[in-house]
Amino acid sequence: MVDIDGSGNFYAGGGASIASIITICKEKGLSGIEFMAGIPGTLGGTIRMNAGTNDRGIMDAVSFIDLADASGSRRIGKNELEYGYRHMALPTKTVITGAGLSLNVTSPDDVRAKVASFIDRRRNQPKGLSSGCIFKNPEEGSSAGYLIDKTGLKGHRVGGAFVSDIHANFIINDGSASSSDILKLIEIIKDEVKKQFSVELEEEVIILA
């Protein structure tokens, strides 16, 4: 469900896809979330990850979130939330049922142009089965993909999983990879980056045991 009050305040349920929110923003001329264009996921999932680009996360556009847990539901303002680069401190066993976004009213053409430019930047991302970036960038201004590239691991394969030749922070599943292939490749990458650059890469993906 989406509710727009005409002044750029936008409400969507936690299960709303980012793609559908972007579509509405383009139609209504609401600006401020164009950088999320092309990122797969739901509003709840992307808030949980504070997903976004290198320098922005969806929390930049969020004004409050609605949460539900065994004790009931509540609304939490952005100022009460602890978040950062690909990080959101949510209490455990809590579901984001919805969120308010604070956007700017502009023209549909303006939003369409910005969305197109963000989608364009993604054209160079690897195609195929992947989880997107595997590792967080180790610190501001540095790039996990660059470090992995410099280790020489591009194309390195374990079973059906290999390091993308296009973007070294992507592991591609050729369709036959097992989870253990991917986990082994993650360990090889971490070990090599640690050995060559003394940098501890931290996974951006959440690994379910």
Active site residues: 86, 133, 204
CA-CA distance, 133 to 135, in Å (whole number)? 6
The one among 8, 29, 45, 159 contacting ligand FAD by CB under 6 A: 45
Q: Does 21 bind ligand FAD (CB under 6 A)?
A: no
Could you tell me which residues come within 8 angstroms of residue 139 by beta carbon, excluding any fewer than 6 positions away?
Answer: none
Q: Does 173 bind ligand FAD (CB under 6 A)?
A: no
Q: Find tokens 């793609």 and name the residue.
A: 19
Q: Does 108 bind ligand FAD (CB under 6 A)?
A: no
The span of 23-31, 44-52, 140-148, 181-189 binding ligand FAD (CB under 6 A) equals 44-52
The one among 34, 62, 130, 169 contacting ligand FAD by CB under 6 A: 130
Q: Is 169 exposed, middle or buried (0-12, 13-18, 19+ CB in 10 A)?
A: buried
Nearest distance in Å: CB 137, ligand FAD: 11
Angle at 43 between CA 146 and CA 112, to 5 degrees: 75
State the binding string over 177-206 for ligand FAD (x if CB under 6 A, else -): -----------------------------x
Nearest distance in Å: CB 39, ligand FAD: 5
DSSP 8-state assignment for residue 208: P
Nearer to ligand FAD, 173 or 192 (CB): 173
What is the rounded end-to-end Cα distance, in angstroms, of the chain? 33
Q: Does 96 bind ligand FAD (CB under 6 A)?
A: yes
Could you tell me which residues come within 8 angstroms of residue 102 by beta carbon, excluding any fewer than 6 positions away?
Answer: 8, 9, 10, 32, 61, 62, 63
The one among 26, 28, 48, 167 contacting ligand FAD by CB under 6 A: 48
CA-CA distance, 16 to 44, in Å (whole number)? 8
Where does this chain bind ligand FAD (CB under 6 A)?
14, 39-42, 44-46, 48-49, 51-52, 95-96, 130-132, 206
